[in-house]
Amino acid sequence: MGSKTISGVTIECMQGDITKQADLDAVVNAANAQLRPGGGVAGAIHRAAGPELDELCRPLAPIRPGEAVITSACNLPNKHVIHALGPVYGKDTPSDRILADAYRNSLARAEEAGLASVGFPALSTGVFGYPMDEAAAVALKTIAEEAPKLNTVKLVRMVLFGTKDADVHEKALAQLSE
């Protein structure tokens, strides 16, 4: 696992499952605009959270690319789920700015709720087609840029499904200046 502390915020990268991060206040869902279960991360989060999560999401939908909304985490081992809509790579443009917005807005929702720790999957890198190395650079640069502005959030963890994806993120983390 890679880790670095910037302005008092610890940023970690690890291989794992976003639905099994019991020590985090919130996990971020790689959502669709309608906030419906879907596949990938969204399917896994809704399955673990139970059907009540879908009910909580309905009145908050639709959201636009780059936006994020927060709900309770229902049966997940966290307090909250933050539902973020990343860009479809090359279709929602400029994709890098919209991806950065999705991370920034997710952190803003966590701060508003007074949370101390948040876990992200690699937004947009599955069905939405964002190349992993480019997405990792945007994700970690954005989290590092936001770190000095965060008051309540002290831990941000990138949770990557594959070991290769975790390596790519750890390298991007190592390249950030402290």
Report how far residue 19's alpha carbon sits from residue 27's, in angstroms, rounded to the nearest whole number: 8
- Per-residue mark of binding to ligand AR6, 104-143 (x: CB under 6 A): -----------------xxxxxxxx---------------
Looking at the Cβ atoms of 117 and 125, the one nearer to ligand AR6 is 125
Q: Specify the 3-state DSSP secondary structure of 33.
A: coil
Of the candidates 22, 32, 5, which has an alpha carbon nearest to the alpha carbon of residue 76?
A: 22
User: Is 100 in contact with 138 (CB distance < 8 Å)?
Assistant: yes
- Return the range that interacts with ligand AR6 (CB under 6 A); candidates 33-41, 109-117, 139-147, 169-177: 33-41
Does residue 41 belong to the site contacting ligand AR6 (CB under 6 A)? yes
In the complex with ligand AR6, which residue's Cβ is closer, 28 or 108? 28
| Cβ at position 87, least distance to ligand AR6 in Å | 9
Segment contacting ligand AR6 (CB under 6 A): 2-10, 32-40, 50-58, 145-153? Answer: 32-40
Q: Please identify which residue in 3, 8, 17, 148 interacts with ligand AR6, judged by CB under 6 A.
A: 17
Q: Please, what is the minimum distance in Å from the beta carbon of residue 35 to ligand AR6?
A: 9
Do the beta carbons of residue 99 and residue 139 sit within 8 Å? yes
Q: Could you count the other beta carbons within 10 Å of the beta carbon of residue 173?
A: 21
Please state, in angstroms and rounded to a whole number, the distance separating the CA atoms of residues 21 and 113.
18
Residue from 100, 159, 168, 172 touching ligand AR6 (CB under 6 A): that is 159
Structure tokens at 153: 């959030």
Kindly state the tokens that stand for 83: 């539902």
Restricting to residues 74-103, name those near ligand AR6 by CB under 6 A.
86
Shortest separation between residue 137's beta carbon and ligand AR6, angstroms: 15
**Cβ within 8 Å of residue 5, ≥6 positions away:** 11, 178
What CA–CA distance (Å, rounded) separates 125 from 160?
10
Distance CA 175, CA 143 (A): 13
Residue 20 vs 149, nearer CB to ligand AR6: 20
Residues that bind ligand AR6 (CB under 6 A): 17-19, 30, 32, 38-42, 44, 86, 121-128, 159, 161, 165
